[in-house]
Amino acid sequence: MIDVIVVGGGPAGVSAAIYLKRFKLDVTIIMKDYGTLGTTDHIENYYGFPEPISGKELFNNGIKQAKRFEIPVLTEEVLSIDYFDTFTVKTNKGSYESKIVLLATGASRATLRVKGFSEYTGKGISFCAVCDGFLYRGKKIGVIGNGDFMLEELEVLENFSQDITVFTNNMPLEKPLEHVKVVDNKIIEIKGNDVVSSVLTENSETPIDVLFMAMGTPSAADFALRMGAFINKNDIVVDEQFMTNIPGLFAAGDCIGGGWLQIVKAADDGSRAAFAINKYLRKKPM
């Protein structure tokens, strides 16, 4: 069993992993891609770089540094995290057991730029099948997505209803689907009165009672929410030791908010979270 799995390969995650490794802990980084850092062309205010550096370059430097410390870096998409005394991190390539999980994937959350999305978020638009699926037993359920994350949510929702429609929003399905209706047209509008009632696409209108968002990759907040961790808006709530209300589940970087979403702050979060994790493991019998 791994001591610590760090989900995310950015400044917070890599900084934490390096310190954890120096504490002689068995640590593994699991990351999918560059995240929001990869969209930054010029970074000019980070210590130690006299010339501007791109987000991708800085990210790659961090990964090289982690590998120099012989920290395994797995390029995989994390789909779910389960907690029963220890953690099981499920990816698109396998499952991994750990004593501790540190969430450091940034603050992104899937949004849909169509009419009605903002209006009905929280009023029939849900981001968590585990949290809300039970409330819609036998109802008309819609799911937006086309990849592994959508399949993970769909597996949960099929326990509650046989009337499920998957909306791909003009994206191709990554894997074929059976037993559910698929609408692959572009979504035009999410309609309703007080709550969601239908999804309008280019070629049809489909009545629904709830719409689950499962586009792209789940965020750190999505993972935390599914395990029952406290969320404030889209920020994971942590204590002074960077731990959530779930024992052994830590979070650092942009995913915990704080109003100062800078690279230097994320790296600082990661280092301090590592100290807290080391202290926690030394005190907790395993």
pLDDT digits (tens, 9 = 90+) for 34-86: 776 776 777 888 888 888 888 889 999 999 999 999 999 999 999 889 998 89
Residue of 52, 79, 91, 71 whose CA lies nearest to 13: 71
Looking at the fold, whether 7 and 55 belong to one and the same domain comes out as: yes
In the sheet with 141-144, reading across from the earlier edge strand, the strands are 125-126, 210-213, 141-144, 164-167, 181-183
Helices 11-22 and 263-283 pack at an angle, to 10 degrees, of 40
Determine the residue type at 281.
L
- Spatial separation of the C-alpha atoms in residues 253 and 262, rounded to whole Å: 9
110: pLDDT confidence band, cut at 50, 70 and 90? low
286: pLDDT confidence band, cut at 50, 70 and 90? low
Name the domain count of the chain. Answer: 2
Looking at the fold, whether 89 and 146 belong to one and the same domain comes out as: no
Q: Does an H or E element contain 281, and which?
A: helix 263-283
203 CB-contact burial (10 Å; exposed 0-12 / middle 13-18 / buried 19+): exposed
Give backbone dihedrals phi and psi of 239, rounded to 5 degrees, phi first: -90, -170
**What is the domain-level CATH number for residue 22?**
3.50.50.60
pLDDT tens digits along 119-155: 888 889 988 888 788 889 999 999 999 988 899 899 9
Residue 117 in this model has a pLDDT that exceeds 80: yes
Looking at the fold, whether 9 and 89 belong to one and the same domain comes out as: yes
Helices 11-22 and 55-68 pack at an angle, to 10 degrees, of 20
273: pLDDT confidence band, cut at 50, 70 and 90? very high
Looking at the fold, whether 87 and 125 belong to one and the same domain comes out as: no
Looking at the fold, whether 9 and 103 belong to one and the same domain comes out as: yes
* Direct distance between the N- and C-terminal alpha carbons of the chain, in angstroms, rounded to an integer: 11
Looking at the fold, whether 142 and 197 belong to one and the same domain comes out as: yes
- Mark out the alpha helices in 34-162 (DSSP H runs): 55-68, 117-120, 129-132, 148-157
Looking at the fold, whether 34 and 157 belong to one and the same domain comes out as: no
Q: SS3 of 233, please?
A: coil
Last residue of a domain, one of 188, 213, 238: 213
Domain that holds residue 255: 2-109+218-283
What does the mean pLDDT of the chain come to?
90
Return the pLDDT at 246. Answer: 94
Looking at the fold, whether 121 and 207 belong to one and the same domain comes out as: yes
Return the pLDDT at 215. Answer: 84
Looking at the fold, whether 7 and 94 belong to one and the same domain comes out as: yes
Looking at the fold, whether 22 and 91 belong to one and the same domain comes out as: yes
Looking at the fold, whether 69 and 189 belong to one and the same domain comes out as: no
Q: What is the mean pLDDT of residues 235-253?
A: 95
Last residue of a domain, one of 198, 213, 228: 213
Return the pLDDT at 39. Answer: 65
Q: What is the mean pLDDT of residues 231-239?
A: 88
Return the pLDDT at 11. Answer: 93
Q: Are 90 and 82 in contact (CB under 8 A)?
A: yes
Return the pLDDT at 285. Answer: 59
Last residue of a domain, one of 213, 245, 263: 213
Residue 250 makes CB contacts below 8 A (sequence gap 6+) with 100, 101, 102, 103, 238, 241, 242, 243, 244, 273, 276, 277
Return the pLDDT at 228. Answer: 86
Looking at the fold, whether 64 and 127 belong to one and the same domain comes out as: no
